[in-house]
Chains A and B, each alone.
Chain A
Amino acid sequence: EDQVTQSPEALRLQEGESSSLNCSYTVSGLRGLFWYRQDPGKGPEFLFTLYSAGEEKEKERLKATLTKKESFLHITAPKPEDSATYLCAVHSSGSSASKIIFGSGTRLSIRP
């Protein structure tokens, strides 16, 4: 059964303290892995799509990487405005557009 697990559930960092969020997945075949950012009271906002192991994408202080079993969202020198919940989702091969599975998210808090 396809599964997506994110860790940790919550992470508190000091401003400037770099760290990584993890997304482990088990799917029959990966067509795409997505990262989203969700602010309180708002809908998820698309960040990245990764398609194959070894791929990396960057946006400001965020960098997403992908291996055959997991993805990492690295945050470098975070600022308080980076505080949000980060969601990971996977689309598996052999399935329709409906089969996009979301993890429960990592709640990131950056203290000034």
Chain B
Amino acid sequence: NAGVTQTPKFRVLKTGQSMTLLCAQDMNHEYMYWYRQDPGMGLRLIHYSVGEGTTAKGEVPDGYNVSRLKKQNFLLGLESAAPSQTSVYFCASTLLGADGGYEQYFGPGTRLTVT
């Protein structure tokens, strides 16, 4: 049981390049999330999904797109990277329990630098 995994762990992009971050979970969770974490700003939600084939915008969605073609995978895409997207990206998943608990299980993160 690997939990939540993310690839790649590190990446350096030039402005204007594109890339896709992959998140995979093996816990059969319905909900998946993409966050970015910047110093002093906490975790901010980019996009999320409440099930296979669904996606929705979070707090800071501009410049990002997502897809959830399979329940266990959630992809985050940057079509044209900008220096402002330099950050650490975390994927998380949640099993909506009978008590409505939304405790999230996080991946190890992807450190992205855009030059």
Identify the A interface with B (CB < 8 A): 31-32, 34, 36, 41-46, 49, 51, 87, 89, 91, 96-98, 100, 102-105
A44-B106 in contact given A49-B101, A87-B42 (Cβ < 8 Å) = yes
**Cβ-defined partner of B102 (8 Å) among A32, A44, A45, A104:** A32
Q: Which of B4, B33, B58, B100 has the most CB of A within 10 A?
A: B100
Contacts of A42 in B (CB 8 A): 108-109
Interface residues of B in 51-65 (CB under 8 A from A): 56, 58
- A97 close to B102 (CB less than 8 A): yes
A32–B99 alpha-carbon span in the complex (Å): 10
**Cβ-defined partner of A102 (8 Å) among B4, B43, B94:** B43
Question: Can you name 11 A-B pairs with beta carbons within 8 Å?
Answer: A32-B101, A34-B103, A43-B4, A43-B106, A44-B104, A44-B106, A46-B103, A49-B103, A96-B50, A97-B50, A98-B58
Smallest CB gap from B97: residue in A: A49
Contacts of A43 in B (CB 8 A): 4, 90, 92, 106-109
- B42 close to A97 (CB less than 8 A): no
A98-B105 in contact given A32-B100, A43-B90, A104-B42 (Cβ < 8 Å) = no
